[in-house]
A and B are shown apart, each in its own frame.
Chain A
Amino acid sequence: MIATTTRGELTFGTIAAGSGLNAALALPGADALRKIDSSGLRGRGGAGFPTSLKWELAAKSPGTQKYVICNADEGEPGTFKDRAILADFADLVFEGMTIGAYVIGAQSGIVYLRAEYTYLRPHLEAVLSRRRRQGLLGTGAGGKKGFDFDIEIHMGSGSYVCGEETALIESLEGQRGEPRNRPPFPIDTGYLGNPTIVNNVETFAWVVCIMAKGPKWFKSFGTEKSTGHKLFSVSGDCRRPGVYEYPLGITIAELLEQVGGSEAKAVQVGGAAGQCVPRAQFGRAIAYEDVPTGGSIIVFGSQRDMLKIAENFLEFFIDESCGQCTPCREGTPKLLEGVKLLQRGECSMAYLNELCSLGETLQVASKCGLGQTAPNTFLSIAKHFRDEILGRTPQTP
């Protein structure tokens, strides 16, 4: 097992296994759902869709066969909190899935685990069999008559875009992981055409905490639109990288002080798909309504070349683009070419503006989140670091 790097005590460590599930099963499904609703919990994968709304729609969808899918395809650069949760608090994740199944009326659960985390699988299988022995999974799960639910683990095969929920479902069905057009949404037309909820690892764990400690407790942290605590994966140029838990709404400056990265010149919030926030804006809050993140915080020190960063992220997107839609497939290489021009000091201001306009086209015209977010970092760097990136003297090797 990999040494975890959690800093400070996490809420997850204070929740006794079984407490959340018992609390949920004592209520009718609709009441359990109301608890989640009043907590204001939003998806912890980064998109921030209200969890209770997703579950409510799936619960109302007609169908006898429904699915609960846990998105453990944590591929966003700079994110590793799901790995830490799966390693240390797998019980909470499975318990959250069980509560989800109870609420929407599902019999089957699937954990879609990324291929890069194959080494976690034996541990997860062991936890699953223990939970079956304890009667928390299987026929009459959690001692509730008529509630049958079990979970299996499916492995990914190395694809970033499969973290997008419809691509993930395609992959589970044995297809290329290409995102689907939405609507229809997975809540009524998901895995094998059945109503399906897909939630992030961390979201499921928080559901258990809400059940155990109550929605009021959860809501007492965070902001009005972004309630509760959130795990952050912090890496890059700081003295104490690792997994942290803070209330949403924390400012970037406050977070940097905690992790020992106050000298940073910029911070990448939300991974490759997020945005690059310059020092002047460190007063901004990390929350769905300001700078959203699935947990990824990468700190850039003063010595870092912003063009290298843009280059790295664009190469990443070119590699991971599924190639299905034109803006993403053709646009990202064009942006990378632009970065190379800037590196050689051969880019005019007019052309840089053209590139930015291309980036904005990608944001609106791409089919899925990958293409829509691919130009983000390039655009923030082109906006905030013009002095650094224009008029360079080419470096001779």
Chain B
Amino acid sequence: MLLTERERLRQELEELADRHGRRRSSLLFILQEVQQRHYHISEFCMQIVADLLDIHPVEVHSVVSFYGFLDVKPQGQFIIRLCRTIACEMAGKDEVARQLENDLGIKFGETTADGKFSLQWANCLGMCDQGPAMLVNEKVYTRVTPQGIHGILEECRGKFGVHATAISKERAI
């Protein structure tokens, strides 16, 4: 990472820490925003956040690794989380999972080469009466069918097409 980029990131994190307060109880707020902006929380970020809150970086890492919605590894712009819990399983989540893997060319836990999509499992999304359910970032889709996957992916691709390059640069941090 370039020195100037590091400096920019440090500034960004300082602003975040000041906005939420440089307290331990602000840690999750800060991490949630970093995750949202950069699609993961890099080791460099964890170190800076630890310095800002005056705690050990290992503590920051232990928090990041604990929560399902915080990632140490870079994720795609669109994180697809398919519910794997029993009601969605009975409603046919296996077929949906298979088709997601086919259409994206990746397995669960992986990210597409263009940095657009990541596939993850989720535990109960609270849509048990309308399964199979999945989240694409914050948006929830219910009664998903294997043939409906393509349309949902195209919807995402259309939305972010023009910004793709600029954002993938940021992802390299």
Contact = CB atoms under 8 A, between A and B. Distances in A.
Given A77-B87, A298-B87, A192 B32 contact: no
Contacts of A316: 84-85, 123-124
B129 A234 contact: yes
B128 A157 contact: no
A159 B25 contact: no
A233 B25 contact: no
Contact of B63 (A154, A174, A236, A313): A174
A320 B63 CA distance: 14
Given A119-B138, A174-B28, A74 B69 contact: no
Interface string A171-214: 11111111000000000000010000000000000000000000
Contacts of A74: 126
A154 B32 CA distance: 11
Nearest to B53: A174
A43 interface: no
A75 interface: yes
Interface residues on A, range: 35 or more
B39 to A, nearest CB: 15
A174 B129 contact: no
Contacts of B24: 173-175
A interface: dominant SS: mixed
Contacts of A312: 84-86, 89
Contacts of A319: 121, 123
Nearest to A78: B128
Contacts of A160: 123-124
Interface string B66-103: 11111000000000000011110110000000000000
26 contacts: A5-B129, A5-B130, A75-B124, A77-B86, A77-B87, A77-B128, A78-B85, A78-B87, A79-B126, A80-B128, A80-B129, A155-B32, A159-B66, A160-B123, A171-B28, A173-B24, A174-B24, A174-B28, A237-B90, A242-B129, A243-B129, A272-B85, A296-B128, A308-B89, A315-B84, A316-B123
Interface of B: 23-29, 31-32, 62-63, 66-70, 84-87, 89-90, 121-131, 135, 138-140, 142
Which 3 pairs of residues, A with B, have the shortest CB-CB distance?
A158-B68, A174-B27, A158-B69
